[in-house]
Amino acid sequence: MKSLIIIGVGGFAREVYWHAQQTGEFNSEWKIKGFLDGDIKLSEEDYSKLPEEVPLLGDIDSYQICDDDVFTCAVGMPEVRIRLIGKMLSRGADFVSIINHRSIVFPTAEIGRGVIIGLDNGIGDHVKVGDFSVINNATYLGHDVTVGKYSCIMSHVDIGGYAQIGDNVFIGSHVSIIPKSKIGDNAYIGTGSVVLKKVKAGAKVFGNPAIDIK
């Protein structure tokens, strides 16, 4: 039996704690050991909301990895995920994917390592989701969509077939991306935007249609 450790102590970490209990692996392959603080301290209110039954194990810089530990990173922004996960990978940490059983994942889909898929998502035919990405809640990825590594897709997002999402991309809630669109690495798509064709790497876009706002 493995011991799952959730990296993060904020609101998303509490949600991932619940998602982890809604997986087929919970109590069959691993139990939840506790939370690990990241390298950014949050408010006392955040710490006070952590579930009492699961301990805070310290922070990622001081925690000593045990042989039976596995990890998930419950932090939403790609640049922070890259930093925290990188620290743990350099020390030999093993990451697992968390997929809430209320999401539908087509058997042809390819889900990478350390991915988090929340509640009521649809992951369509021949979709590819890269390592350490997040698909939050109530989002649909159409057939043949590709999502790169470390990308974070928030709730109520609709991504049309054959769309290509790069690495380290953040997509806010209630975004619509039409089929065959291409979003470059490190792009940021603001809440409620409609992507009609292409977003350049590193661009920050917002609106309907989405335009660069830098």
Backbone angles phi, psi at 16, to 5 degrees: -65, -35
Q: Sheet containing 30-37: give its strands across.
A: 56-59, 30-37, 2-7, 69-73
Q: DSSP 3-state assignment of 183?
A: strand
Q: Are 69 and 88 in contact (CB under 8 A)?
A: no
Q: Catalytic residue at 19?
A: no
Q: Specify the DSSP element, H or E, that contains 45.
A: helix 44-48
Counting every residue written for the chain, the total comes to 214
Given 19, 101, 126, 143, the catalytic residue: 143
Whether the bond between 209 and the residue before it is cis, its omega within 30 degrees of 0, is yes
Residues serving a catalytic function are 143
